[in-house]
């Protein structure tokens, strides 16, 4: 348990930061879920639009320190390749 004033303050700050980061992570997951659902529906235009909306949200997660930049880069790369594959599947 925190005893010194400094450690008590750090505990309060940690709690507040945790709440903010949790909300950010939840928001990012929502955007990712929308992209996944659009890909599952098979509509490339909707999937592309959802991916465009998700990109800045993921980038914001990196700048705020919620996600690692390589994690976001990997997620975006994999999602964009899946969205792109929808176009080739529809053309074939």
CB atoms within 10 A of CB 40: 9
Residue 50 domain boundaries: 5-91
Number of structural domains in the chain: 1
As given in the structure block, the two tokens for residue 58 are: 């993921």
| Predicted pLDDT of residue 90 | 65
Mean pLDDT over 58-81 rounds to 97
In tens, the pLDDT along 29-64 reads 999 999 999 999 999 999 999 999 999 999 999 999
Rounded to whole angstroms, how far apart are CA atoms 91 and 61? Answer: 35
Rounded to whole angstroms, how far apart are CA atoms 79 and 67? Answer: 16
* Residue 71, domain CATH: 1.20.58.110
Confidence category of residue 87, pLDDT binned at 50, 70, 90: confident
């Amino acid at each position: 348990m925190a005893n010194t004033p400094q450690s008590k303050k750090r505990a309060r700050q940690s709690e507040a930061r945790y709440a903010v980061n949790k909300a950010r992570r939840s928001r990012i997951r929502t955007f990712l879920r929308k992209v996944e659902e659009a890909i599952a529906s098979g509509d490339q235009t909707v999937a592309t639009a959802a991916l465009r909306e998700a990109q800045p949200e993921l980038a914001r997660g990196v700048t705020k320190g919620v996600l690692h930049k390589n994690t976001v880069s990997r997620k975006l790369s994999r999602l964009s390749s899946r969205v792109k594959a929808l176009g080739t599947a529809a053309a074939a």
